[in-house]
Amino acid sequence: MDFTDTQQDILFRAWLLARDGNGQVVTDEAIPDAHDLAQQGWLDRRVEPNGDMSWWWTPAAETALDVNALMRSADGREN
């Protein structure tokens, strides 16, 4: 899967913030990219009490990274 630079930035921040149980509010220009990532299952959308839309790392995104890491560690191995 190919991501735009903006999507990569959003995903990295979402992954990093999720370590502390946090989400992020993105700039207006980044909302279409965040929306696309949510449609693909990488992010969840939440409305904050002040009305802002926030974007959160999903369990599915975590699983995708785990599976990717597992597959990369198995490359070149034969059992």
All structural domains of the chain, each given as residue ranges with its CATH number in brackets, are 5-74 (1.10.10.10)
pLDDT of residue 38: 97
Q: State the DSSP string of 20-40.
A: TT--B---GGGHHHHHHHHHT
CB 11 within 8 A of CB 55: no
DSSP 3-state assignment of 14? helix
pLDDT of residue 53: 96
Q: How far apart are CA 72 and CA 45, in angstroms?
A: 30
Q: Tell whether pTM > 0.75.
A: yes
pLDDT at residue 79 above 60? no
pLDDT of residue 48: 95
pLDDT tens, position by position, 24-76: 999 999 999 999 999 999 999 999 999 999 999 999 998 877 676 657 766 56
